[in-house]
């Protein structure tokens, strides 16, 4: 919810999410992200999402599953191996 507040407060159209240390997202949280967070983010004006991914592991798998569920229906999402690349892409959009 803090990210949503920041999007609203800053009138941001882009978000960078660094998930490299994420270990797991529960099924319930995946559904909440898809059904609640994403619509709220779109309503707040989000248009671009850059996701920095771990190179391997359960966290990578979990994030990939969430991204499959969300897709590019709501906003354009790209994945990156480095924070620098994600920030550059967001800056270019």
Residue-wise pLDDT for 34-48, tens only, equals 999 999 999 999 999
pLDDT tens across 5-64, in order? Answer: 999 999 999 999 999 999 889 999 999 999 999 999 999 999 999 999 999 999 899 999
Q: Is the pLDDT of residue 71 over 80?
A: no
In angstroms, the CA 6 to CA 76 distance is 19
Does residue 11 contact residue 5 with C-beta atoms inside 8 Å? no
Does residue 23 contact residue 58 with C-beta atoms inside 8 Å? yes
At residue 73 the predicted structure's pLDDT band, cuts being 50, 70 and 90, is: confident
At residue 72 the predicted structure's pLDDT band, cuts being 50, 70 and 90, is: confident
Structure tokens at 13: 């159209």
Does residue 81 contact residue 55 with C-beta atoms inside 8 Å? yes
């Amino acid at each position: 919810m803090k990210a949503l507040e920041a999007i609203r407060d800053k009138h941001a159209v882009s978000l960078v999410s660094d998930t490299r240390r994420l270990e797991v997202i529960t099924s319930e949280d995946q559904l909440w992200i898809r059904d609640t967070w994403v619509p709220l983010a779109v309503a707040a004006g989000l248009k671009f999402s850059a996701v920095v991914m771990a190179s391997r592991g359960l966290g990578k798998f979990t994030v990939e599953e969430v991204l499959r569920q969300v897709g590019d229906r709501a906003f354009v999402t790209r994945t990156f191996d480095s924070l620098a690349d994600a920030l550059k892409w967001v800056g270019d959009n």
